[in-house]
Amino acid sequence: MVFRVAFLIGFLMAGAGVRAQPNSYVEGQVWEYKTRPADAGSLLKIQKIDTDPRRVENRTIYHISIINVRLNDPSVRREISHVPVSREALDDSVTREIPGRPPFPDASEGIAAWRQAKGGVFTIPIAKIIDVVEQTMAKMPAPQQ
């Protein structure tokens, strides 16, 4: 697996643009990623990087926000303010760092709630995480007016 990932990263580096490299993630970076077809143009931002020495696996946690996703209503673009992900999830998903800094939601409230709950970490690709969020939202009762 390590060889395959290293080979793939090397292959991608030959193309134009900045590609993900081992140990290259830093707070504030904005990335294009392998989106679901409905979410073309969606971006993610690394809001915070944490290390949790109590974890056996996924000790480094990347707190990301995602913009321009379509959740349960294809006519509306939405944002997801906080998702804790592993390095593996980022490596499997990101395609190109972008130089611009579009506005993203503040993730601090979500990060604080995640810490208090001693939350988990997603290890699946970002597009699959968005599927999980969408499926969870579909099961929630509609807000009362």
Tokens standing for residue 24: 């290259």
pTM (2 d.p.): 0.80
Return the pLDDT at 94: 97
- 23 pLDDT band (50/70/90 cuts)? low
Average pLDDT of span 13-24 = 46
Model pLDDT for residues 33-77, shown as the tens digit of each residue: 999 999 999 999 999 999 887 777 778 999 999 999 999 888 888
Task: Tell me the helix, strand and coil percentages in the chain, rounded to 5.
Answer: 30, 25, 40
Average pLDDT of span 112-134 = 94
